[in-house]
């Protein structure tokens, strides 16, 4: 039973570590996009929204990483039910955390698209044709 408890903790740690790495990558991408955006514009609002979503996701991942799951066994007959209940709780918590991370990713993608469409067209020099 201790092995199962340990395995559940490892699964939670792996999942939250992966989510944290993705959030770090998304934050770096958003920082690069923010340097290209105008300060007072729709682009700035989209970047602010994305930064807020990333902060919320970082908080959710940290909260999930701190959770401890222990299978509480009262009787041998209830062992299977206790394991199923604990696994269901872990899955539900990870799904909820993943949904928050996905929302942050969507916000970053939206900010990138807004900044990309707002960028002026590349400069093309006029050609002076000599007749």
Q: How far apart are CA 31 and CA 90, in angstroms?
A: 32
Encode pLDDT of 56-81 as tens digits: 999 999 999 999 998 888 888 888 89
- Give me the mean pLDDT over the 100-122 stretch: 85
Closest Cα partner for 102 from 65, 62, 53, 63? 53
Tally of domains within the chain: 1
Q: Is residue 49 part of a domain?
A: yes
Q: Is residue 127 part of a domain?
A: no
Q: Is residue 126 part of a domain?
A: no
Q: Is residue 124 part of a domain?
A: no
Encode pLDDT of 10-41 as tens digits: 999 999 999 999 999 999 999 888 887 766 57
pTM for this prediction: 0.79
CB 43 within 8 A of CB 37: yes
CB 101 within 8 A of CB 60: yes
Q: Is the pLDDT of residue 51 over 90?
A: yes
Closest Cα partner for 90 from 10, 2, 21? 10
Sign of the C-alpha dihedral, residues 43, 46, 48, 50? negative
Encode pLDDT of 73-110 as tens digits: 888 888 889 899 999 999 999 999 999 999 999 999 99
Residues spanned by the domain of 56:
2-118
């Amino acid at each position: 039973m201790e092995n199962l408890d340990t395995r559940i903790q490892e699964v939670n740690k792996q999942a939250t570590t992966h989510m944290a790495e993705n959030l770090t990558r998304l934050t770096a991408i958003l920082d690069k996009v923010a340097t290209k955006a105008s300060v007072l514009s729709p682009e700035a609002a989209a970047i602010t929204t994305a930064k807020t979503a990333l902060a919320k996701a970082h908080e959710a991942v940290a909260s999930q990483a701190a959770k401890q799951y222990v299978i509480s066994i009262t009787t041998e007959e209830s062992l299977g039910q206790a394991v199923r209940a604990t696994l269901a709780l872990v899955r539900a918590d990870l799904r909820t955390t993943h949904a928050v991370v996905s929302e942050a990713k969507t916000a970053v993608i939206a900010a990138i698209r807004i900044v990309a469409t707002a960028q002026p067209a590349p400069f093309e020099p006029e050609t002076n044709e000599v007749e």
